[in-house]
Structure 1
Amino acid sequence: MKPIAFDELKNKSIKFIKGVGESRRSLFEKLDINSVFDLLTYYPREYEDRSKIKNIADLENGENCSFEGTIVSNVNEARPRRGMVISRVTVQDSTGRITALWFNQQYVRKALLLGENYIFFGRIERKLNKLQIVNPVFEAGSSEVMKKSLKILPVYSATRNLGQNVIRTIMQEAVRTLDNVQLEDMLPEDIRSRHKLAGLKESIRQIHFPGSAEKMQEARYRLVFEELFMLQLGLLNYKSLAVHKGRGIQFGKPREMEAFITFLPFKLTTAQQRVLEEVEQDMESENVMNRLVQGDVGSGKTIIAVIALFKAVKCGYQGALMVPTEILAEQHFKSIKPLFQEYGIALELLSSSLPKKQKQGIFDGLREGRIKVVVGTHALLENTVEFQKLGLVVTDEQHRFGVRQRTILAEKGQNPDVLVMTATPIPRTLALILYGDLDISVIDQLPPGRKPIKTYSVNEAMRERINNFIREKVMEGRQVYIVCPLVEESEEIEAKSAVVTAEDISNNVFRDLKVGIIHGKMKSAEKDAVMKSFAAGEISILVSTTIIEVGVNVPNATLMVVENAERFGLAQLHQLRGRVGRGGEQSYCVLFNQSKSQVSRERMKIMSQSNDGFVISEKDLEIRGPGDFFGTKQHGLPELKIANLYRDIEVLKLAQNSARELLETDPGLRGNLRLKQYLSGYFGEKVTLS
């Protein structure tokens, strides 16, 4: 039997799994499941432990569990209102009684027979000191069925028309396909042995259909370790490449530096001065700088980059500042230009929407060295962009760029220094591991005069009061953001859209006020025109999607209203909130929460109580389940399918140590070629190992 690597199953379509026809294939596609590999790595979000039967007298309020009992009443049906049927029955064992009830599931009247025995599973509730179970699943209590029923069952994130039973059945078929396959384990044998890791095939089987809680935990530990090991191996590889690729540029100490810093329209905070010293030390050393400057919204990271660019230019080099959006690029360009003009530094703005002739002029200027600093979007990564002497690369809002993207830009110079900035605060221990390829500086102090933004979580009952508050702020001469999760209405998602909201408020609630709209589907020229108009105070209320999340700076905007706030991550809400409070006036953020869930209420409470991005990110990690942290794809990292970066921090450290040891003993992974190949696929790009 020829061994195959797990990732080879990416090439096998899900339609080859028994039970997956064309209609189911398209439903699985909605869950981003296209291949057998995608299906097998679609891990359960939780489990139902039906393996232990309890006596009715021992059932506790709020627990999910199984019990066995006899039907001692006929099924009673009540119709409290049109469209609702409640089916109710009494179940008894030798220790007590419980009421089972179902909503709009009339099949139970024929399915449950008086005097027969059944096994029930569900959530127990105690109402008026009486036990009840709502919408339980049940099966006839014969010994044959009991064997089938009493298991730990996986619970998956589902979609309409693709429920748990269907996913479980298809998953069983997928797991069964591994029976006749020799699955090649990518983890080196000594690492598996040292950390007592279960085999890959058995781990996949047990994570989906565990024989016991212990076997499920063993499987999870193995799969979490592998996921984090691959993540660290890739990151440490990038760092080792940066360290080993030769000497960096040893920048000098230009005499104009002190005057330039004094010339700034504000005084640097103590935290900014400390971080600037760390950056300067890096630039003046012979090693290539790879530094992350992390700071909360409004902490003043950009000026550190501007000073570093000034230093690079005054030492005879060129600099590049790459940002994720054209709006932010133009904003940086406008704020930096007057500072550099005073010293005769040629600065240009490059974006994909510029006319061809203008772009060509910038290409020529960079190649010939006439343009000293360029601010741009992803357009900077194009092959047509060449520098005469690139010395410093700065990427702003790093979470919007991949690790590889900043490497592409750096490769346009001869070992230039790299400075990375992010306003997504991550707890420091975690940042050291997540950004394993970077040294880290933190600006942990806001400029003086910044007032904390007052944040309130409200529901629909407060709509009229909030509308009055919006009008009040506009009458005071202030401006307002209204942020929606969608651009246009969607049949599948119940949430406010920017287009419909803008239309509604401009025609009805605020028809006497100037309302604007901006979203990602608009052309660049349209977006620029709207932002210019808002910045100039010509638009009072700007309805937007998250396109304004990063860097947009309109100090006169003092109120932000976020629709369907439950649909955003905490880190994203914090970023959005950072668009207000940028002037001296008191600012406000109103979060409309349409969800009644406990988790949602908890998240809104955190936003209302804290303006500290680091506290918020810690809480975000704590309450999120396994999976994508802040959208790790946005961090330029592979999506985490099973690891939880908060709960699994200890495993993360072990994985990092193992990855570091492996690269020390086998720097180019020459003795682990299949692992090297697998790593490339894991990062979704070519991973070069020296």
Structure 2
Amino acid sequence: MDRLSMSVQYVKGVGPKRASKLRKLNIHTVEDLIYYFPRSYEDRRNFSRIRDCSHGQKVSLKVYVAGYPSVLRPRKNLSILKVPVKDETGIAYLIWFNQDYLADKFNIGEELNVNGKIKRIGNEVQISNPVFEKKNSYKDKVGSIVPIYSLTENLTNNEMVLIMKNVLKDYIDKIVEIFPKDMLSKLDLMPVKQAILNVHFPKNGESYKRARERLVFEELLVLQLGLFMIKNNVKFDNLGIKFDAVEEVEDFISRLPFQLTNAQKKVFKEIEKDMESDKQMNRLIQGDVGSGKTVIAALAMFKAWKSGYQSAMMAPTEILASQHYENISHMMEKYGMKCELLVGSLSNKKKEEVLDKLKNGEIDILVGTHAIIQDNVQFKNLGLAITDEQHRFGVRQRAIFSQKGLNPDIIVMTATPIPRTLALILYGDLDISIIDELPPGRKAIETYAVGFNMLGRVNEFVKKQIREGRQAYIVCPLIEESDTLNIRAALEIYDKFKDETFTDFKVGLLHGKMKADEKDNIMNKFKDGKIDILVSTTVIEVGVNVPNANIMVIYNAERFGLSQLHQLRGRVGRGEYQSYCILINEGNNKVARERMRIMQKTNDGFKISEKDLELRGPGEFFGTRQHGLPDLKIANLFTDMEILKLAQSEASKIILKDPHLKDEEYCLIREKIKIMFKDKIDDIIFN
């Protein structure tokens, strides 16, 4: 067995207990641990003097133990250990709570290196719960650059540092260099082993910078090569359907109850051009919430029908599929087009009826959930396959969908706005159309960020709106209360609202642990006005259109990404009523305040997504959950744009030279692509 794929529990200092904690961080193997990079660093190399330290400052000190440790017991279950220390400028006290056992570790006169936060109480200088090491102990806790890792409950940073030192000492030699020597030399890249060591435990700023650049370049090159290979295999090898030029499309547009925006017209022209060519269309329609993507999809379906082909649209939830079905049926009924819905909750008899009609060509448009891509679903002549909310479906599901016809044209739609340069990377296998304009007359959602001290006023405002006939969403980050995070849980809030705060109104609860039919039942009740207030987790982020719901209250807004907040906010503002989004925010740090300010200032999803990229850490914004792409472990697509351009340029040269990476010099890169993309593209690229 490859030692890097061994369970992490066999790393020195881990064992079964710590392994279960590491699994919560998605660390399962030795290799996972090695590639679990620090989120930040603390520079403890510069030593201060006691006299020069100010309150609240985090410092490193060289001190001597100046007296015997003392233990105070101000009340039951609380002990305070005080150890007097000094340097040439003054005296300070090292303070620990409920850690009396440390008292025996100190001898008068011995030298310590100490790091911690200064607290000045009157003339007394204290350092609470400091990190310390004795002179010549060589543990590198103080006097070095210390990595800070993202942690989970009951796992400390000190433990993580120790585990990381052990894994690097015992297993770093098993890491294989994937780049050919001439590539390392030409691009002046640090060798991979050296880079990993210097990212975890940098000696100085320069060694860290070079190490990180090497690892970011590797990650982005592998990502880009994988995407190029998908694009080459999924798209360019396929001849598509050449649809007719359909003059009646203009009649369809003129009969709509609204005018298309210029952005919608431009995007539909791009789609028409694709459909009339003999290449298979593979196009992403990217548009902010409410920008009118569905009507563009309907126009494409109309064109397909007029050319003698069936169309299908796949949505991630039954409620969203039902909504699309209603909207599209309404648009198409005047032309005699036959639309049907295929979702899991249909009776077996109805499903069989739909499948028979579909196979016989009696259905022109099929709208449904992933039920559409099951084996028993057969089309007579599928010409157009549309996926809504692209990030909920992986590349594999899209590929299966396209195999339901003979190279049908593909449209995927997303309401997650991404800056164009980054969308080109994320959706490397797709051409991109952007609807960057909202329909005229759409009212901006008024957004307010408030603290929990305003909760009473917020609740009164919600009551007032409901009495006027409106409905409200209340969104919480977690389902159950966490012991370590101050988060209001959906269950707790639901009980409180139902039994205390909103007793005069009908309150419903929606969360991710419910079964699909339970979720759909709750959403349908809300849509039909049988629920006034819907308490929910983020499962409503992609979802249903309830024009009567005009208030969105988001608890612990500081714990959501900006783009996610914008998606949630987009659930309201869909009807004629002025809509409101109230962000209840407990974050007092600079980043939290800046994020709330951005949400209040703009309703533009593209501006928000750019800010989100700027403010969030590596890998978070473009994680698997949002986009069906691999998580990035170290690269940040906003701040690493220059490295990204270099990676794209090199990937282009490699693909031109060796499209399938069959040459021996690229075989290790090829293996890395397989690992990064896992089963998402394995059967497409490496069959």
CA separation of 1:333 and 1:492: change in aligned 2, threshold 3 A: farther
Q: Deviations over 1:30-86 (max 9, x none)?
A: 222111111111111122333343455676787655331234566677778876666
Q: Say which of 7, 11, 24 aligns to 1:30.
A: 24
Deviation at 1:331, TM superposition (A): 0.6
SS at match of 1:281: helix
CA separation of 1:665 and 1:159: change in aligned 2, threshold 3 A: same
CA separation of 1:377 and 1:271: change in aligned 2, threshold 3 A: same
Equivalent in the alignment of 1:235: 227
For the Cα contact (< 8 Å) 2:95–2:126, is it kept in 1?
Answer: yes
Tell me which moved more, 142-151 or 297-306: 142-151
For the Cα contact (< 8 Å) 1:158–1:164, is it kept in 2?
Answer: yes
Tell me which moved more, 601-610 or 22-31: 601-610
* Aligned counterparts of 2:122 and 2:282: Cα–Cα separation in 1: 63
Equivalent in the alignment of 1:518: 510
Does residue 135 (structure 1) correspond to residue 129 (structure 2)? The answer is yes
Tell me which moved more, 358-367 or 400-409: 358-367
Deviation at 1:230, TM superposition (A): 1.3
SS at match of 1:118: strand
* Aligned counterparts of 2:284 and 2:125: Cα–Cα separation in 1: 56
Q: Say which of 636, 652, 662 aligns to 2:654.
A: 662
SS at match of 1:646: coil
* Aligned counterparts of 2:27 and 2:217: Cα–Cα separation in 1: 23
Q: Which consecutive unaligned segments of at least 5 residues does structure 2 have?
A: none
Look up the equivalent residue of 1:688 and give its one-letter code: I
Does residue 397 (structure 1) correspond to residue 389 (structure 2)? The answer is yes
Q: Deviations over 1:132-169 (max 9, x none)?
A: 654331122x3354777533222211222221222222
CA separation of 1:520 and 1:94: change in aligned 2, threshold 3 A: closer
* Aligned counterparts of 2:182 and 2:388: Cα–Cα separation in 1: 40
* Aligned counterparts of 1:72 and 1:204: Cα–Cα separation in 2: 41
Deviation at 1:179, TM superposition (A): 5.4
Does residue 158 (structure 1) correspond to residue 154 (structure 2)? The answer is no
Deviation at 1:603, TM superposition (A): 2.3
Equivalent in the alignment of 1:43: 37
Deviation at 1:126, TM superposition (A): 8.0
TM-score norm. by structure 2 comes to 0.92
For the Cα contact (< 8 Å) 2:133–2:141, is it kept in 1?
Answer: no
Equivalent in the alignment of 1:15: 9
CA separation of 1:300 and 1:80: change in aligned 2, threshold 3 A: farther
Q: Say which of 165, 179, 195 aligns to 1:172.
A: 165
Equivalent in the alignment of 2:210: 218
For the Cα contact (< 8 Å) 1:484–1:497, is it kept in 2?
Answer: yes
Tell me which moved more, 587-596 or 415-424: 587-596
CA-atom RMSD, angstroms? Answer: 2.8
Aligned residue runs from structure 1 range 334-413, under 5 A: 334-413=326-405
Aligned residue runs from structure 1 range 70-219, under 5 A: 70-72=64-66, 91-94=85-88, 101-102=95-96, 105-106=99-100, 110-123=104-117, 133-140=127-134, 142-145=135-138, 149-178=142-171, 181=174, 183-219=175-211
CA separation of 1:192 and 1:516: change in aligned 2, threshold 3 A: same
For the Cα contact (< 8 Å) 1:313–1:319, is it kept in 2?
Answer: yes
Q: Say which of 397, 420, 425 aligns to 1:433.
A: 425
For the Cα contact (< 8 Å) 1:401–1:634, is it kept in 2?
Answer: no
* Aligned counterparts of 1:535 and 1:440: Cα–Cα separation in 2: 33
* Aligned counterparts of 1:518 and 1:587: Cα–Cα separation in 2: 21
For the Cα contact (< 8 Å) 1:569–1:630, is it kept in 2?
Answer: no
Look up the equivalent residue of 2:112 and give its one-letter code: Y
Q: Which consecutive unaligned segments of at least 5 residues does structure 1 have?
A: none
Equivalent in the alignment of 1:418: 410
Deviation at 1:129, TM superposition (A): 11
* Aligned counterparts of 1:423 and 1:321: Cα–Cα separation in 2: 16
CA separation of 1:180 and 1:560: change in aligned 2, threshold 3 A: closer
Deviation at 1:667, TM superposition (A): 0.8
Deviation at 1:190, TM superposition (A): 3.6
CA separation of 1:461 and 1:415: change in aligned 2, threshold 3 A: same
CA separation of 1:494 and 1:618: change in aligned 2, threshold 3 A: same
Deviation at 1:91, TM superposition (A): 4.8
SS at match of 1:139: strand
For the Cα contact (< 8 Å) 2:361–2:381, is it kept in 1?
Answer: yes
SS at match of 2:662: coil
Look up the equivalent residue of 2:620 and give its one-letter code: D
Deviation at 1:618, TM superposition (A): 1.4
Paired-residue identity, %: 50
Deviation at 1:545, TM superposition (A): 2.0
Look up the equivalent residue of 2:60 and give its one-letter code: S
Q: Deviations over 1:346-391 (max 9, x none)?
A: 1111122222232222223222222121112122222222222222
Equivalent in the alignment of 2:496: 504
Does residue 464 (structure 1) correspond to residue 460 (structure 2)? The answer is no
Look up the equivalent residue of 1:665 and give its one-letter code: K
For the Cα contact (< 8 Å) 2:42–2:145, is it kept in 1?
Answer: yes
Deviation at 1:330, TM superposition (A): 0.6
Equivalent in the alignment of 1:480: 472
* Aligned counterparts of 2:35 and 2:368: Cα–Cα separation in 1: 38
Deviation at 1:646, TM superposition (A): 1.5
Does residue 68 (structure 1) correspond to residue 41 (structure 2)? The answer is no
Equivalent in the alignment of 2:283: 291
Q: Say which of 290, 302, 311 aligns to 2:294.
A: 302
Look up the equivalent residue of 2:281 and give its one-letter code: M
Aligned residue runs from structure 1 range 557-572, under 5 A: 557-572=549-564
* Aligned counterparts of 2:379 and 2:356: Cα–Cα separation in 1: 9
Look up the equivalent residue of 1:216 and give its one-letter code: Y
For the Cα contact (< 8 Å) 2:234–2:684, is it kept in 1?
Answer: no
* Aligned counterparts of 1:57 and 1:549: Cα–Cα separation in 2: 53
CA separation of 1:189 and 1:248: change in aligned 2, threshold 3 A: farther
SS at match of 2:454: helix
CA separation of 1:299 and 1:244: change in aligned 2, threshold 3 A: closer
SS at match of 1:273: helix
Q: Say which of 646, 667, 687 aligns to 1:673.
A: 667
Q: Deviations over 1:465-487 (max 9, x none)?
A: 11111110011111111112233
For the Cα contact (< 8 Å) 1:10–1:35, is it kept in 2?
Answer: yes
For the Cα contact (< 8 Å) 2:222–2:669, is it kept in 1?
Answer: no
SS at match of 2:171: coil
Look up the equivalent residue of 2:149 and give its one-letter code: Y
For the Cα contact (< 8 Å) 2:622–2:629, is it kept in 1?
Answer: no
CA separation of 1:669 and 1:71: change in aligned 2, threshold 3 A: same
For the Cα contact (< 8 Å) 1:242–1:288, is it kept in 2?
Answer: no
* Aligned counterparts of 2:360 and 2:667: Cα–Cα separation in 1: 42
For the Cα contact (< 8 Å) 1:667–1:689, is it kept in 2?
Answer: no
CA separation of 1:399 and 1:159: change in aligned 2, threshold 3 A: same
CA separation of 1:487 and 1:101: change in aligned 2, threshold 3 A: closer
TM-score norm. by structure 1 comes to 0.91
For the Cα contact (< 8 Å) 1:680–1:687, is it kept in 2?
Answer: no
Q: Deviations over 1:292-313 (max 9, x none)?
A: 2111111111111111111111
For the Cα contact (< 8 Å) 1:191–1:658, is it kept in 2?
Answer: no
For the Cα contact (< 8 Å) 1:402–1:634, is it kept in 2?
Answer: no
Equivalent in the alignment of 2:684: 688
Deviation at 1:577, TM superposition (A): 0.7
Aligned residue runs from structure 1 range 578-617, under 5 A: 578-617=570-609
Deviation at 1:332, TM superposition (A): 0.5
SS at match of 1:177: helix
For the Cα contact (< 8 Å) 2:131–2:142, is it kept in 1?
Answer: no
Does residue 276 (structure 1) correspond to residue 276 (structure 2)? The answer is no
For the Cα contact (< 8 Å) 1:518–1:544, is it kept in 2?
Answer: yes
Paired residues, number = 682
